[in-house]
Amino acid sequence: MPDHQTVTVAGKVTHIFGHRFVVQTDREPVLADITPRGLEQIELHLGDYVELSGEQKPSELKVAIFTRDGRTVTITHKEKHHDHLGNADPKVALNAARAAGFATLGEPRRKPKHFEVLGKRDAAFTELHIELDGHIRKMKPVDRHDPKWMHAIGA
């Protein structure tokens, strides 16, 4: 994940989209996000002159400090929690696939909230999405020549 820099911009509010809005600075328009919770603290108005400071992401400025008419509000953004990434055992997914009657091919592929496992039953290939607790939440047929699974199928 690339590092994003903290920036400060100032300008006039030109568009409002819920908790996101556009500020026209002296250089360019900036899309800003104050979060739904921040919107509860701040009433946005078209034409307001504001100063914003926060983390510049590729698509928007995540506002941490909002200043208007000398009043400053601090806004907190929820941090993404990746706790679930380290606590997953691929054996749980493999055991769930086997318990459902599938022979497993290749290695389970880790996703943020599940594993993808290639299973074979009755000569048919199936992609299984297995949650971290072993619950199979999705099954979809896989063609023998599917590029995603060709290596595991050996086609």
pLDDT at 78: 72
> What are the DSSP E strand ranges found in 18-135?
20-24, 29-33, 49-56, 61-68, 71-74, 103-110, 114-121, 124-131
Strands 61-68 and 29-33, by their bridges, are parallel
| Confidence (pTM) | 0.52
Contacts of 151 (CB under 8 A, 6+ apart): 106
Q: Does 12 fall in a domain?
A: yes
Q: What is the CATH number of the domain that holds 102?
A: 3.10.450
Q: Is the pLDDT of residue 35 over 50?
A: yes
Q: Give the separation between CA 45 and CA 91, rounded to whole angstroms.
A: 54
Of residues 138 and 76, the one with the higher pLDDT is: 138
pLDDT at 85: 53
Of residues 135 and 5, the one with the higher pLDDT is: 135
Query: The tokens of 68 are what?
Result: 């208007």
Q: Does 29 fall in a domain?
A: yes
Q: Categorise residue 18: left if φ over 0, alpha if ψ from -120 to 50, beta otherwise.
A: left
Task: Give the tens place of pLDDT for each residue, 92-147.
Answer: 999 999 999 999 999 999 988 899 999 999 999 999 999 999 999 999 999 988 88
Q: What is the CATH number of the domain that holds 63?
A: 2.40.50.200
Domain boundary among 43, 74, 105: 74
Domain boundary among 74, 100, 130: 74
Q: How many domains does the chain have?
A: 2
Domain boundary among 74, 100, 131: 74
Cβ atoms < 10 Å from Cβ of 68: 17
Contact 108, 116 (CB under 8 A): yes
Give residue 52's domain range: 6-74
Q: pLDDT > 90: what percent of the chain?
A: 74
Q: Does 1 fall in a domain?
A: no
Task: Give the tens place of pLDDT for each residue, 53-71.
Answer: 999 988 999 999 999 999 9
Contacts of 42 (CB under 8 A, 6+ apart): 34, 66, 68, 73
